[in-house]
């Protein structure tokens, strides 16, 4: 039975007629989405405050901006600065452009402790604060961070510095695009902080952009302008590392030049994880739905299929003029297959050319299903609207990749330590 639900007030209807009547009401219903978002936001702030208060009381952290404390209670959590009473043997990292925290979560699982996380997006920062309550989160452009206190104190500096300027989907303007400048800003940060190791994550397109000239420029003219680091990079095909997803990302690593390059990229595994493996016992959660006009076609497509499985008339009806254009267009009306890894999880689950419909149910993957494909734990909570949550998940480095890289980084840092570096 199809259920119609009002996007504004959330009320649901079994009959289309009742639903249409509701939409055409004289006095339009209240838009509760904004209200819900505000309620959730306040609840998240309260939870983070509670967790921080607990850590302060245990003596695990100290809040540095005293103006944010009144009557021994934390009054505001935005841009709170804190000192973590770290075990001195633990390695630390700073991550800029942290998004919802896929990479940082993986690095933490390897035992590397975050000193500072950052993102320009409000919801991502809320997610970071909620899941890492004892870590300082700088909300705003990383170009505005005061790095002076971290000079020579940071083991690993990393960042998912925005990739839109190089992505295949973008206009391929590379460093001419304003966002491309952020790589230059990140390079300046490396030269100020001088971490033992730095790591950048970016899209595959960076390798081939401008016939390979862009990556050369990024490495030689930006990241290594002062000739301080030995740099290597690798295209990581996540599916070869136990992630149930065909995601590919470039990882660039720089190790201080005074020492020989001693980082080994993680070893690949033979075991390919499928959607069936990933979604076993996945908890129920919120998710997007397809509009009725799309559902009608999805109902006719088998797992692993796409528009090609419709009959010719329906193909023409759905694709319109696109039917006559070239290319396989296999992302159109694409249904996932239980026995294969998932296609790359994207920021928006129901885009026309890049659908990833659940194998059996005619809907996009839910939040928890998408998070499982990105190897987040089920108790990792994402903040913000449904779209904001999908976006943080779609942007993330799979947690498992972060952990595998983290394990290798720890080995490198230990070897630097053994050499008294
Ligand atoms: C690819 S995502 C990072 C994903 C992250 N590494 C993870 O594993 O979850 C890039 C992030 O950069 C953020 N961003 C873009 N420009 C920024 C800036 N100037 N300063 C800080 N964050 C920025 C975006 O909001 C986005 O969350």
pLDDT in single tens digits along all 421 residues of the chain: 556 777 677 677 788 888 888 888 877 777 776 777 777 777 777 887 787 888 788 777 778 788 888 877 888 777 777 766 654 457 999 999 999 999 999 999 999 999 999 999 999 999 999 999 999 999 999 999 998 989 989 999 999 998 555 554 455 566 666 666 788 889 999 999 999 999 999 999 899 988 888 889 889 888 988 889 999 999 999 999 999 999 999 999 999 887 666 789 999 999 999 999 999 999 999 999 998 889 999 999 999 999 999 999 999 988 888 888 877 788 889 999 999 999 999 999 877 778 899 999 999 999 999 999 999 999 999 999 999 999 999 999 999 999 999 999 998 888 776 565 5
Of 96, 108, 120, which is best to mutate to test ligand 1, by the most ligand atoms within 8 angstroms of its C-beta? 120
Pairing of strands 113-119, 92-96: parallel
Domain ranges in the chain are 4-28, 87-272+399-418, 275-395
Q: What is the DSSP letter of 324?
A: G
CB-based burial label for 177 (10 Å; 0-12, 13-18, 19+): middle
Q: What is the DSSP letter of 219?
A: I
The DSSP element (H or E) to which 415 belongs, if any, is helix 399-418
Q: Domain 275-395 is of which CATH architecture?
A: Alpha-Beta Complex (3.90)
**pTM to 2 decimals?**
0.83
| Cα separation, 216 vs 205, whole angstroms | 13
Structure tokens at 188: 């300046």
Those residues with Cβ within 8 angstroms of residue 358's Cβ, 6 or more apart along the chain or in another chain: 335, 336, 364, 365, 369
Using the mean position of ligand 1's atoms as its centre, give its distance from the Cα of residue 225 in Å: 23
Pocket of ligand 1 (CB under 6 A): 96-103, 118-121, 124, 141-143, 160, 162-163, 182, 201, 395-397
Position in ligand 1 atom list of the atom nearest CA 142: 20
Q: Which CATH superfamily is domain 87-272+399-418 in?
A: Vaccinia Virus protein VP39 (3.40.50.150)
């Amino acid at each position: 039975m199809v259920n119609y639900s009002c996007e504004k007030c959330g009320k649901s209807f079994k009959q289309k007629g009742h639903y249409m009547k509701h939409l055409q009401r004289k006095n339009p219903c209240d838009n509760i989405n904004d209200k819900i978002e505000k309620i959730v936001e306040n609840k998240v702030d309260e939870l983070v405050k509670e967790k921080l208060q607990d850590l302060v009381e245990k003596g695990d952290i100290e809040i540095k901006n005293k103006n944010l404390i009144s009557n021994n209670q934390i009054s505001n959590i935005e841009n709170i600065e804190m000192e973590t009473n770290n075990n001195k043997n633990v390695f630390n990292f700073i991550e800029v452009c942290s998004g919802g925290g896929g990479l940082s979560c993986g690095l933490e699982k390897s035992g590397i402790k975050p000193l500072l996380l950052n993102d320009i997006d409000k919801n991502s920062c809320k997610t970071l604060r909620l899941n890492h309550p004892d870590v300082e989160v700088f909300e705003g452009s990383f170009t505005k961070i005061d790095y002076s206190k971290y000079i020579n104190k940071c083991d690993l500096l990393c960042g998912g510095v925005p990739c839109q300027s190089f992505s295949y989907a973008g206009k391929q303007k590379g460093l001419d695009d304003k966002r491309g400048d952020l790589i230059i800003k990140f390079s300046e940060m490396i030269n100020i902080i001088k971490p033992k190791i730095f790591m950048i994550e970016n899209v595959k397109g960076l390798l081939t952009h401008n016939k390979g000239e862009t990556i050369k420029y990024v490495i030689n003219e930006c990241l290594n302008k002062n000739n301080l680091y030995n740099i290597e990079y690798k295209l990581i095909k996540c599916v070869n590392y136990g992630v149930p997803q065909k995601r590919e990302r470039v990882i660039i690593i720089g190790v201080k030049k005074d020492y020989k390059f001693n980082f080994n990229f993680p070893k690949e595994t033979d075991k390919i994880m499928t959607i069936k493996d990933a979604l076993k016992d996945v908890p129920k959660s919120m998710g997007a739905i397809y509009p009725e006009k799309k559902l009608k076609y999805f109902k006719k497509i088998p797992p692993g299929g796409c528009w090609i499985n419709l009959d010719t008339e329906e193909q023409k009806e759905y694709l319109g003029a696109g039917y006559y254009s070239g290319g396989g267009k296999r992302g159109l009306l694409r249904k996932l297959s239980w026995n294969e890894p998932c296609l790359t999880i994207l920021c928006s689950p129901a885009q026309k050319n890049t659908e990833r419909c659940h194998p059996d149910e005619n809907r996009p993957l839910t939040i928890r299903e998408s998070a499982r494909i990105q190897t987040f734990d089920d108790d990792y909570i994402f903040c913000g609207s449904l779209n904001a949550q999908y976006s943080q998940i779609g942007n993330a480095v799979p947690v498992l990749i972060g952990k595998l890289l983290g394990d290798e980084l720890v080995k490198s840092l230990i070897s630097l330590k053994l050499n008294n570096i």
